[in-house]
A and B are shown apart, each in its own frame.
Chain A
Amino acid sequence: QVQLQESGPGLVKPSETLSLTCTVSGGSISSYYWSWIRQPPGKGLEWIGYIYYSGSTNYNPSLKSRVTISVDTSKNQFSLKLSSVTAADTAVYYCARIDGYGDDLRYYYYMDVWGKGTTVTVSS
């Protein structure tokens, strides 16, 4: 049973860089896409971006200029960096696995395994 666990500082100062890591256990990081999603207090879910195990990435256009997602296959981990944070970046941050299936004509994707989430507060 694959499990994901987010880790990182719970408090980040404004203008600094938020850094989180997601550790994958019970399975390999290979052959999947891995994603970050966040949820501000009392609000809905926002997709941040994903990385394929080989290293290719895709980001939410609204966050693209500040986001970097990387992967370390030797440690079965992937990481999120969000620069120049403000109070608006305060949220619960989730990591998730993107699985999929299909054929040459059509492929379907879904986030089937999620971490429990970690709360990050941006405050001085």
Chain B
Amino acid sequence: DIQMTQSPSSLSASVGDRVTITCQASQDISNYLNWYQQKPGKAPKLLIYDASNLETGVPSRFSGSGSGTDFTFTISSLQPEDIATYYCQQYDNLLLFTFGPGTKVDIK
């Protein structure tokens, strides 16, 4: 099984700050990595697919990068509406999906 880790588990930042979240896979997953945003009480929302592609309609302040085992998710300028938990998700060649443990983002 491929294990996913995320860091930090939570962070607090000011409006306008650059926020970076990392996701690490236990083995090479190429760029089979997606990022989701989940606001409290809501369903997850797809933000980034195959590591770096922005889903249609998602603000350009969100971005992703990486390949292999190490991935980065960035919010270039944190906005109040970005308060949420962010999850990475990988899938392997058997199309088994795994979510990372999540990173909770708050406003300082």
Q: List residues of chain A with CB under 8 Å of any chain B CB.
A: 35, 37, 44-47, 50, 58, 60-61, 94, 106, 108-112, 114-117
Contacts and interface: CB of A to CB of B under 8 A. Distances in A.
Chain A at the B interface: SS class: strand
Contact of B87 (A45, A110, A115): A45
A91 to B, nearest CB: 13
Interface pairs A-B: 4 shortest CB-CB: A110-B49, A114-B43, A47-B97, A45-B99
Contacts of B96: 47, 58, 60-61
Interface of B: 1, 30-32, 34, 36, 38, 42-46, 49-50, 55, 87, 89, 91, 94-102
Contact of B99 (A46, A108, A109): A46
Would you call the interface of chain B mostly helix, strand, loop, or mixed? Answer: loop
Given A44-B87, A110-B34, A58 B95 contact: yes
Contacts of B97: 35, 47, 50, 60
Given A111-B34, A112-B55, A114-B43, A44 B99 contact: yes
